Amino acid sequence: MGASLNDVKHRITSTKKTRQITSAMEMVSQAKLNQIQKHTKNYAEYASQVKSVVLHLAQTHILDGLTKSSGHSADNDQSKPKRTAYLVITSDRGMVGSYNSNVIRETNQFINQHSGKSKDYQILAVGGNGSEFYKKRGENVSYEYRGVSDVPTFVEVHQIVKTITSMYDAGNFDELYVCYEHFVNRMVSRFRAEKMLPVDDEAIQGQASQDIEVKPMTAEYDVEPSEKEVLNVVLPQYAQSLVYGAILDAKTSEHASSSTAMKSASDNADDLISSLELQYNRARQAAITTEITEITGGQEALSK
């Protein structure tokens, strides 16, 4: 009985230490979530303006001839099947609940729907979990980036965008979809797969259908110095804003998922501690009762 009591007492102590760790991790994740939400709020104003300009350019048909005038080979040869790239955003670390598994599962479903049985696609992985998953399964991971900051800066993401757009311009793939978890609130996130390249009607309308704030603007433009020069400035900013916004969004979901997972772990630890303490008290009470019974029985034997 003594050994059993010691085992239970040891489990209580160990579980309390685990709860201290998970509680601390929950606080850290919550602080990161608050920080990135403030950062995202400031960035949303810029993103809204860029998206508004592009959406209204589309309404004025300035973008109509963009893909036709593009030098990209896939745009000029409609008989060739499109080679698709999927930018998959996951975390580098674990202990984020079902965050990574949700992204990968939903991405796989989207790939199956979009690419079908064709294997002529590639994975661009931002985050170690996604990279390792697809590498282990022999998928074509043509680009990976690890170590995204807890609150990513535009400069940091600009390097990612620059590399990806260079791959697109070089003809490595014909279209790009960004796959990530969209932050809804601290308890809910939803998977999104958004077309980023080329910037055509499908990509623009896809963005227009999202729950983004679009600033009211007139659909009439005086273009100076030329339409081409305007597009050369606006469209790269648009592409950058999409990827940067997706990474910010994904990181926000990651921190929220981590905070929720650590809170759940702490709550489970509390439940286990309560159960173990009840078990310990009952075992201790039983041991005391047994000891009193033995002493009483011994005294009765001596008195006879």
Both structure tokens of 218: 């007139």
Residues 6 or more apart whose Cβ sits within 8 Å of residue 299: none
Residue 110 has pLDDT above 50, yes or no: yes
Q: Packing angle between helix 227-303 and helix 99-115, nearest 10 degrees?
A: 140
Q: SS3 of 88, please?
A: strand
SS (H, E, C) 208-262: HCCCCCCCCCCCCCCCCCCHHHHHHHHHHHHHHHHHHHHHHHHHHHHHHHHHHHH
What letter represents residue 146's amino acid? R
pLDDT tens sequence across 1-39: 455 788 888 888 998 998 899 899 889 988 999 888 888
Side-chain-side CA neighbours of residue 126 (13 Å) = 27
CA-atom Rg of the chain in angstroms: 29
Angle at 271 (CA atoms; ends 267, 275), nearest 5 degrees: 165
Both structure tokens of 13: 């102590």
Question: Residue 77: which pLDDT band, with cuts at 50, 70 and 90?
Answer: low
Q: What is the pLDDT of residue 180?
A: 95
Domains and CATH numbers, the chain: 2-14+262-303 (1.10.287), 24-258 (3.40.1380.10)
Distance CA 60, CA 64 (A): 9
Residues 6 or more apart whose Cβ sits within 8 Å of residue 115: 84, 121
Q: How many CB atoms lie under 10 A from the CB of residue 75? A: 16
Q: What is the pLDDT of residue 99?
A: 92
Q: What is the pLDDT of residue 119?
A: 80
Taking the CA atoms of residue 87, residue 92, residue 94 and residue 99 in that order, the dihedral angle to the nearest 10 degrees is -20
200 dihedral zone (left: phi>0; alpha: psi -120 to 50; beta): beta
Q: What is the pLDDT of residue 169?
A: 87
Taking the CA atoms of residue 112, residue 106, residue 123 and residue 177 in that order, the dihedral angle to the nearest 10 degrees is 90
pLDDT tens sequence across 242-275: 888 889 999 999 999 999 889 888 889 889 999 8
Residue with tokens 């790939």: 111
Distance CA 43, CA 49 (A): 10
Distance CA 181, CA 170 (A): 29
Q: SS3 of 65, please?
A: coil
Average confidence (pLDDT) over 44-62: 70
In angstroms, what CA-CA distances link 22 with 29, 81, 85, 254? 10, 49, 37, 16
Question: Residue 70: which pLDDT band, with cuts at 50, 70 and 90?
Answer: very low
Question: Residue 228: which pLDDT band, with cuts at 50, 70 and 90?
Answer: low
Question: Residue 224: which pLDDT band, with cuts at 50, 70 and 90?
Answer: low
